[in-house]
Chains A and B, each alone.
Chain A
Amino acid sequence: MNPEVEVAPVLEEAVIQRTLGAALRTGGDFAEVFVEDKRSSSAMFDDGRVEELSSGRDRGAGIRVVVGDTTGFAHTADLSEGGLRSAAEAAAAAARGGGGGVRTVELTRQETTPPNPVGVYPESVGKGTKVELLRRADEAARSEGGSIKQVRARYGDSRRQILVANSDGLLAGDDQVRTLFVVSTVAFGDTGMQTGYESVGRTVGFELFDTYEVEDIARTSARRAITKLDARPAPSGTLPVVIGPGGGGVLFHEACGHGLEKDLVDKGASVFKGRMGQQVASPLVTLVDDGTMAEEWGAYGIDDEGTPAQRNVLIQDGVLTDYMWDFLRSRKAGRQLSGNGRRQSYQHLPMVRMTNTYMLGGKDDPASIVASTENGVYVSHLGGGQVNTASGDFVFGMTEAYLIEDGKITDPIREGNLIGNGPKVLTEIDAVGNDFAMGSPGMCGKDGQGVPVGDGVPTLRVQALTVGGTAA
C-alpha cells in the first residue's frame, strides 16, 4: 500500500444521515447521496515535444430525491454539512414533494470487492516517468518509416473515489483507478495523408506499463497509418463481413447493447422491447455484460448507485435472457439488481449503462472463416459507432480493414462506415471463431454523459452488411 494514498471521500456517517434526513423532509420515497472525489492527470506529446501536462480535481456530491415517479436532483462542490443540506433541500424541492416529516435512516456499510487490486497508484509515480513514456512512443512510431510525419501521444490517469448512501440504508464506497495510453499518427504518401490510432486502457494503475510496452502501442498506430497509404477505396454495397478478434466489439455495443438498456426499453424506444425469451440472434451468439471483468476498462467494484458490479448474460445461444437495469427500475420491479447504474460525475443523474460487453467465443477456426468467405471485407479494427435504438439501424467505422478475395485477405481499404440493422445483423452471424479477445477502451456517450466501457469479440462473420465505400 502506498503511503501517499488517501482513503475514500470521508464524510461522517452522522452527516450523511442528517443529509438524507433533509432530503426526505418533504416526503420523498427515496433519497440518495453520491459523493465523488476524482483526481485526473494527463500528459500530451505532440509535434515532436512534450506539449503540456494537466491535472485537476473534481470533488462534490449529487443528491437525488424521488417522489412517486419524479426525481429531483441537485449537486454541490461544497462538501460541508451546510453545503450538503442546501443541495438536499434543492433536490427535495425539485422533486416537488408534499408534506413530510422526520425520518431517520440507519446506514449499513456494504463491503466492496474491487475487480482487481491496484499495483501502483498513479499519484505515486513521478511526472518525469510519465513524460518519458511519451518520448519513447514518439520515437517508436517514427521508427516505423519515413512516411510517419506526425505523432501525438497521450498519457492519462484517474483515481475516482466514490461513496453512495441511500434511504434504504445502503452505505458503500469504491476506489476506481484507470490508466490510458493513446498514440495517434499521420502518415504521408503519394495518395495524401492517412491516420493511425491505437489505445490501451485498463482499470489498473501504472503497472499497466508492465504488461504493455508503449513502443508496441506506437508501432501499431504507425503501422495502421502506413498500411492505409496503399489502401484502395472501400467497396460500395452489401457484402459478407468478417470481423477480427477484439477489434469489433463495438458491433454488439451498437447492434444490440443500447437496445437492451431497460430505460430505453420501458419508453418503447428499443426494437428489443417485448422480446424476452425469444430468439433474437443466431444460436451462435451468447452476449454478456460484465462489470466484474478484472482490469477491463468498464470494470468497477460498485456502480454509481452502490450496487456491486455483476456478470449478466443478456443473450444465451441467441435467446434474449435479460436487459440491463438501474437501481430504481430494479427496485420498482422487485427484481435483482444488475449493477448497471452509472453516471459521468457527481453532477449527473445515473442511467442504465453498459460495462464490458462481449460475445463469447465459438468453435470455428478463424482462418477457415476467412477461407470460406469468397468475397467480402475483413475488418481488424473498428472505430466508434452510433445506433438509433428505436429502428435498430446502426453504423460503425472501419479504421483498419482489408478486402477478402477468393477466401484470402488481400489489399487494405480506406476508411468508411458499415451500416446495418441490429436485429437483422444478429441473426445473420453464421460463423464464430475460437479466438475471443477484448478490444480497445471506449467512451460511451448517452444523453450527454460519457462513461468508460469495454468490449470484445472473437472472429465472426456477418453474412451481409452494407459497406459504405465509393468503389463499385
Chain B
Amino acid sequence: MSSGSGDLYDVADLVVGAAEGSEQVEAYVTHSRETQIRVYEGEVEQLSVAETLGVGVRIVRDGRQGFAYCGTFDADSVREAVADARDNAAFAEPDEFAGVGSPDSVEPADLDLWRSELLDVPTDRKVAIAVELEQAVRAADGRITGVESCDYGDTAGEVVVATSTGIRRSARTTGSQLIAFALADDGDAGSSQTGFGFSLGRTFDDLDVGVAAGDAARRATRMLGATKPKSDRLTVVLDPWVSAQLLGIVAGTLSAEEVVKGRSLFAERVGEEVAMPAFTLVEDATDARSWGATPIDDEGLATRRVPLISGGVLDGFVHSTWTARRMGTASTGSAVRGGFKSTPNADCRSVSLVPGSVGPEELIAGIDDGILVQEVSGLHSGVNPVSGDLSTGAEGLRIRGGAVAEPLREFTLASTLQRLLHDVVAIGSDLTWLPMSAAGLTLVIADVSISGQ
C-alpha cells in the first residue's frame, strides 16, 4: 500500500470536488500504520502489523447535516460515502448554525511530532525491547510472579482535512510505547495484585525500559497486604496519574457543546469563582510535550492556547465551528472526533493545570492524617459530569504523620466536581504529561468522603 499525505489529499479533493450547488462538503481522511507486539515468557505471543485507511464525509445542505464514512480509499467506495452523506443530510432538521469550518487568521503551529526514523526500525528490535521489558519486570522484585501483558506498540498517523469552504490542511504524528502489567504475590493466600508501567515516545529511542519496568513492579507490589480503611472524611493526595483523570473530566464539562445543550454544570458561570484561587487551567494543543498535541483540530483549524480557568475564575469554554456560531464567538480550534467514523464535537485534548512550587514529598510531609491515592476505578460509572456527583473506587497508601504508611484498597472517594475544585488546598510542582486529555500533577484535596469498613 502506498502512503504519504499526497494520497490523502487526492482522496480529500475527490470528496470536496463532489460538492453540488451551495452545499458544504468536508473530507476527513486518515491513514495510520501500526505495529503491536505482545510477548510472554520471552517469546512473541502476538505480532500484528496494520495499515488502516479512513474517510469521513460531512455534508451540510440547507442547514441539514449528514455524515458517512468508509474504511478504504477505493474511489467507488468514497463516492458512495459522499452520496450516502448527502442522502443522510436530507433527513436531518435544518439548523442555521450548521456548517463545516471556515478558514480563519490563525496559522497552525510548527510542531515537531513526526519522526520518520520510527518507520525504519526493524521488527526484530521492537520484539527485543518488549522481551527486555518483560525480563526487567520479572527481575525488578522478588514478589513479581509474572506479567499479565507486556506490549510494544507504535503508530504513524496522518490526517488531511479539506472543505469546500477553503480549508486544506494536514498533520502527522508518530508515537511509540512500552507497557507492562506486572503480577505480584507475597505468598499470602488470597489475591494477587497487578500494576502497570509504561514509557512513551515520539520515536523508538525515546523509550525507557527501566522506567516502565520499575513503575509496573512498584505499582504491583505496593498493594500487597493492603487492607480496607474505615469510612471517614480525610485529606487525600491525588498522584499525577489520578489527578489527570479527574482533570480530564473537568475539562469535558468545559466543552461549549455541553454548555449550549444545557449539560454543563459550568454553564452561565463565566466570570465566577469556580475553583480555589491558585487553580489555573489551560487547554493548549500547541504544547508539543502533550500527547494530545496537534497543529490542527479535527475541522482543519489551527489549534491554539485557550484559557479555561484563571485564578479560580471561569474564563470560558472550548469551541468547535458549530458551538462558536451558536454562541456568537469564534472557534477555538477545539473540534475533536473519535476517529474518521464520527463528526466533530468541541472538546479538550491537552489540558494542564499551572503547577505550584512544592513537590509531592514536601506536600505529603505536611499532612498528619490522609491517603495518597494512586489509582481510581469506575470513573465512567461513578462520575456524572452533568450533576457533578463523583464517587470512585480507589487504592493508595495511608499518610500518617507526614509519611506514607500501609497500603489501602477497596474503598471509595466521594464528593462533587463543584466542591472538589474549591477543596483543592495545594497543587504540586510535578506536572506530568500522560496519554490522556489532561496532564497530571500532585493535588491535595481536603475533606473528602472515604467509604470503607
Contacts and interface: CB of A to CB of B under 8 A. Distances in A.
A294 interface: no
A53 to B, nearest CB: 4
B382 interface: yes
Most chain B beta-carbon contacts within 10 A, residue among A76, A194, A237, A470:
A470
Nearest to A264: B148
Interface string A353-397: 000000000000000000000000000001111101011111111
A419 B80 CA distance: 49
23 contacts: A50-B93, A54-B68, A54-B88, A55-B68, A57-B77, A60-B71, A70-B46, A71-B47, A75-B48, A94-B48, A127-B87, A149-B262, A193-B265, A267-B149, A267-B183, A385-B381, A395-B393, A397-B378, A397-B381, A419-B451, A466-B451, A467-B412, A468-B414
A237 B343 contact: no
A56 B45 contact: no
Interface in A196-250: 228, 234, 236-238
B49 interface: yes
A70 B44 contact: yes
B150 to A, nearest CB: 10
Interface string B430-445: 0000000000000000
A382 B380 CA distance: 12
B192 to A, nearest CB: 4
A396 B45 contact: no
A56 B82 CA distance: 11
Interface stretch (A156-164, A299-307, A410-418): A410-418
Q: Would you list the 10 A-B pairs with minimal beta carbon distance, nearest first?
A: A397-B381, A468-B412, A395-B378, A416-B391, A417-B382, A53-B88, A395-B393, A73-B48, A56-B69, A468-B391
Contacts of A51: 65, 92-93, 95
Nearest to A78: B72
Nearest to B226: A391
Nearest to B415: A470
Contacts of B341: 54, 56
A281 to B, nearest CB: 16
Contact of B388 (A186, A192, A349, A393): A192
B285 to A, nearest CB: 23
B3 interface: no
Contacts of A171: none
A26 to B, nearest CB: 13
* Residue from B51, B74, B388 whose CB has the most chain A CB atoms within 10 Å: B51
Nearest to B56: A56
A77 interface: yes
Main secondary structure of the interface of A (DSSP, over half): strand
Contacts of B193: 390-391
B449 A94 contact: no
Interface stretch (A27-35, A41-49, A334-342): A41-49
A349 B44 CA distance: 15
A186 B386 contact: yes
A137 interface: no
Interface string B395-419: 1000000000000011111110000
B263 interface: yes
Given A53-B91, A60-B72, A236-B449, 16 more contacts: A46-B261, A50-B93, A54-B67, A127-B90, A192-B388, A228-B387, A234-B391, A236-B412, A237-B451, A264-B148, A386-B380, A397-B378, A414-B387, A417-B393, A417-B412, A467-B451
A468 B413 contact: yes
B248 interface: no
Given A383-B381, A469-B391, A74 B50 contact: yes
B47 A393 contact: no
B53 A77 contact: yes
B393 A49 contact: no
Contacts of B52: 77, 347
Given A269-B183, A395-B412, A470-B414, A385 B378 contact: yes
B261 A395 contact: no
Contacts of B72: 59-60, 77-78
A230 to B, nearest CB: 13
A268 interface: yes
Residue of A236, A264, A393, A468 contacting most chain B CB atoms (<10 Å):
A468
User: Chain B interface residue count: which class?
Assistant: 35 or more
B194 A391 contact: yes
Contact of A73 (B46, B409, B411): B46
B241 to A, nearest CB: 15
A52 interface: yes
A59 B55 CA distance: 13
B366 to A, nearest CB: 25
Given A52-B92, A267-B148, A268-B183, A395 B414 contact: no
A69 B381 CA distance: 37
A265 to B, nearest CB: 11
Contacts of B84: 55-56
A43 B381 contact: no
B267 to A, nearest CB: 9
A469 B68 CA distance: 43
A95 B47 contact: yes
B235 to A, nearest CB: 15
A470 B449 contact: yes
A131 B88 CA distance: 11
B231 interface: yes
Contacts of A147: none
B191 A349 contact: no
A416 B88 contact: no
Contacts of B410: 393, 419-421, 466
A264 B146 CA distance: 12
Contacts of B378: 384-386, 395-397, 417, 419
Contacts of A47: 260-262
Contacts of B70: 56-57
Contacts of B388: 192
Contacts of B389: 414-416
Contacts of B80: 57
A466 B412 contact: yes
A392 B387 CA distance: 30
A466 B49 CA distance: 44
A414 to B, nearest CB: 5
Contacts of B265: 192-193
A416 B412 contact: yes
Contacts of A71: 45-47
Nearest to B391: A416
A72 interface: yes
Nearest to B451: A236
A115 B89 CA distance: 35
Contacts of A344: none
B116 interface: no
A426 to B, nearest CB: 14
A31 to B, nearest CB: 15
B384 A195 contact: yes
B91 A128 contact: yes
A383 B80 CA distance: 38
Contact of A415 (B45, B261, B382, B413): B382
A229 to B, nearest CB: 10
B240 interface: no
Contact of B382 (A58, A397, A420): A397
Contacts of B181: 269
Interface in B84-143: 84, 87-93, 95, 123
A94 B36 CA distance: 10
A416 B183 contact: no
Contacts of B49: 73-74, 90, 94
Contacts of B74: 77
B412 A419 contact: yes
Contacts of B44: 70, 96
B402 to A, nearest CB: 26
B355 interface: no
B304 to A, nearest CB: 26
B392 A54 contact: no
A468 B382 contact: yes
B48 A416 contact: no
